[in-house]
């Protein structure tokens, strides 16, 4: 099996130093293993994605001296794949429609008996308001957000193997934010208590980051996912989806985030750290490598 890594930016702003770091790591790792480095444009958010940002991604990566194996995958060209997977999960009874907005969720968790709301990878852990409200029979409802019933999903994966409490596991060859490394196992209650029922299909996108990333990494044959530690917690969601959809789990290499002088992680809006800005100011690709410690 060819060793494959990828870089999967969203074309919603300029690449900044954090992106450069991630892309260079993934590229160099593939090169060192005689493997392939692939590119994927994560443009499911049509309201924020722009063709000129996509162009600039190619331009910046070329300038950095990175080359990738063609073809580039673009998420906007794959709605049929996402729909198929949603149908599959729906027919397993694992999805339900939910139109709760942030406010509804905040109100539901601020009831006095609830204690402090728990934060998961997607924000406040969904309190499950709509879980029992809607019928899961018939065909999959369209144009409505769908959540995954995490308890039902976890139960399904546990199946007969009730003796073991581990629902899933992945191999971490980098490190999580608290130094987690090696085999990372998780239980049903880890899923229900610290992640909850995540949204798998958003109204405008007809999919979500979690669903797409899993299907696309599988379709591109990625063996080693290199990405920031901010996605470490979400990896458990991805492992659950891989198991439910019959896909292999790649190895994960979560890396540290590049931070600004005040210790804040760089955001897309942080144009001051855009690769293009340094480039216009006369920096060389090796200056960029040096700036991110490579
Ligand atoms: N598109 C995601 C981002 O730009 C990357 C997701 C991933 O690497 O899994 O943050
Ligand atoms: Zn709801």
Question: Whose Cα sits closest to atom 5 in ligand 1?
Answer: 8
Q: Which of 209, 229, 233, 237 to mutate to test the pocket of ligand 1 (most atoms within 8 A of CB)?
A: 209
pLDDT tens across 100-121, in order? 998 999 888 887 666 677 889 9
pLDDT tens across 117-144, in order? 788 999 999 999 999 988 898 999 999 9
Band (88; pLDDT cuts 50, 70, 90): very high
Give residue 154's pLDDT: 95
Band (235; pLDDT cuts 50, 70, 90): very high
| Topology match between the domains 1-77+261-294 and 78-257 | yes
Tell me if the domain spanning 1-77+261-294 has CATH number 3.40.50.620.
yes
Cβ–ligand 1 distance for 213 under 6 Å, the answer yes
Atom of ligand 1 lying closest to residue 22 CA: 8
Give residue 134's pLDDT: 83
CATH architecture of 78-257: 3-Layer(aba) Sandwich (3.40)
Comparing 151 with 102, which gets the higher pLDDT? 151
Q: What spacing in Å lies between the alpha carbon of 41 and ligand 1's midpoint?
A: 9
pLDDT tens across 171-200, in order? 999 999 999 999 999 999 999 999 999 999
Q: What spacing in Å lies between the alpha carbon of 106 and ligand 1's midpoint?
A: 26
The whole-number average pLDDT for the span 1-21 is: 96
pLDDT at 293 over 70: yes
pTM: 0.95
Q: What spacing in Å lies between the alpha carbon of 1 and ligand 1's midpoint?
A: 24
Question: Whose Cα sits closest to atom 10 in ligand 1?
Answer: 9
pLDDT at 224 over 80: yes
Q: Which of 19, 227, 241 to mutate to test the pocket of ligand 1 (most atoms within 8 A of CB)?
A: 227
Give residue 160's pLDDT: 61
The string of DSSP codes covering the chain is ---EEEE---SSS--BHHHHHHHHHHHHHHHHTT-EEEEEE----TTT--HHHHHHHHHHHHHHT---EEEEEEGGG-HHHHHHHHHHHHHTT-EEE----HHHHHHHHTSGGG-SPPEETTEEPP--TTTTTS---SSPPSSS-EEE-HHHHHHHHHTT-TT--EEEEEEESS--TT---EEEEEEHHHHHHHT-S-EEE-TTTSS-HHHHHHHHHHHTT-SEEEEEGGGTTTHHHHHHHHHHTT----EEEEEPPPB-TTSPBP-TT-GGGBHHHHHHTT--HHHHHHHTT-
Report domain extents, the chain.
1-77+261-294, 78-257
């Amino acid at each position: 099996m060819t060793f494959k890594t990828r870089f999967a930016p969203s074309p919603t702003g300029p690449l900044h130093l954090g992106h450069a770091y991630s892309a260079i790591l993934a590229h160099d790792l593939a090169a060192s293993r005689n493997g392939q480095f692939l590119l994927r444009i994560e443009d499911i958010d049509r309201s924020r994605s722009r063709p000129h940002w996509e162009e600039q991604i190619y331009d910046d990566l070329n300038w950095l001296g990175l080359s990738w194996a063609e073809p580039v995958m673009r998420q906007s060209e794959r709605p049929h794949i996402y729909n198929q997977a949603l149908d599959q999960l729906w027919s397993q009874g694992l999805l339900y429609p939910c139109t709760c907005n942030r406010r509804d969720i905040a109100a539901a968790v601020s009831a006095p008996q609830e204690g402090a709301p728990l934060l998961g990878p997607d924000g406040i852990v969904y309190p499950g308001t709509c879980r029992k409200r809607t019928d899961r029979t018939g065909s999959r409802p369209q144009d409505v957000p769908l959540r995954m019933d995490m308890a039902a999903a976890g139960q399904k994966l546990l199946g007969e193997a009730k003796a073991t409490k581990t629902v899933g596991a992945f191999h971490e060859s980098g490190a999580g934010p608290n130094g987690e490394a090696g085999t990372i196992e998780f239980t049903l209650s880890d899923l229900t208590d610290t992640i909850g029922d995540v949204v798998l299909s958003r109204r405008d996108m007809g999919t979500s980051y979690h669903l797409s990333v899993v299907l696309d990494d599988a379709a591109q044959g990625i063996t080693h996912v290199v990405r920031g530690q901010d996605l470490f917690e979400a990896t458990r969601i991805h492992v659950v989806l891989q198991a439910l959809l019959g896909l292999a789990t790649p190895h994960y290499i979560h890396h540290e985030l590049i931070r600004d002088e005040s210790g804040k992680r760089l955001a897309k809006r942080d144009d001051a750290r855009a690769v293009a800005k340094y480039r216009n100011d006369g920096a060389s690709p090796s200056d960029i490598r040096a700036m991110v410690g490579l």
